[in-house]
Amino acid sequence: MSRIGVLALQGDVREHVNILESLDADALEVKKPDELLEIDALILPGGESTTIAKMAVRFGLIEPIRSVIDEGLPVYGTCAGMILLASTISDSDQPVIGALDVVVRRNAYGRQNESFEAPLDVEGLDSPFPGVFIRAPWVEKVGADVEVLAAIDDHPVMVRQGRTLATSFHPELTDDGRIHEMLLELI
């Protein structure tokens, strides 16, 4: 059984754990660098990217996360997690992990009251995925090695680079485990 870590500093931790358990994966809430050595993949959840970044710096997690990703650990970031994985944030100077060659704009779809749901055609899935967008980022620019797996109005909202997967939407807030299964397939 695969053991998937969920960065548990702030955000949608419990929701990711619930989806993983529904897929018969073992979930571990990661709060310390040494816990990164106990997992087969890592999820960076949605939440407040600034808060998660500050806490990750405070707890000494940025470099260890960067290191395990560089060593091949599969990683998946949702919303704030996508922002943390980006190489560049166009509208902030917050710390990033930089594992994904993309430029991301935070809150690109607007404020909380402009949140929305939309069916997404995702490469590799045979039917639309229910995208839940809450103060969501979008990708403004992708590097040469980045695959765009889903987009809305020409803005990428799901990307993959090697064993790094990211979405600007929140699959953990649905009952659909197909995106999490894509992470499990990267192990």
Question: pLDDT tens, 144-176?
Answer: 999 999 999 999 999 999 999 999 999 999 999
Q: Which of 21, 79, 147, 180 is catalytic?
A: 79
- In the annotation, is 79 catalytic? yes
Global confidence as pTM: 0.95
Cα angle 47-154-70, degrees, rounded to a multiple of 5: 50
Q: Which of 170, 180, 181, 185 is catalytic?
A: 170
First-to-last CA distance in the chain?
11
Using an 8 Å Cβ cutoff, are 84 and 96 in contact?
Answer: yes
Residue ranges per structural domain of the chain? 3-185
Q: What is the pLDDT of residue 142?
A: 96
Q: How far apart are CA 153 and CA 81, in angstroms?
A: 22
Q: Alpha carbon of 60 to those of 67, 100, 153, 158: distances in Å?
A: 12, 20, 38, 28
- In the annotation, is 180 catalytic? no
Question: pLDDT tens, 32-66?
Answer: 999 999 999 999 999 888 899 999 999 999 999 99
Would you say residue 30 has pLDDT above 70? yes
Average pLDDT, the chain: 94
Q: What is the pLDDT of residue 122?
A: 98
Would you say residue 14 has pLDDT above 70? yes
- CATH (residue range 3-185): 3.40.50.880
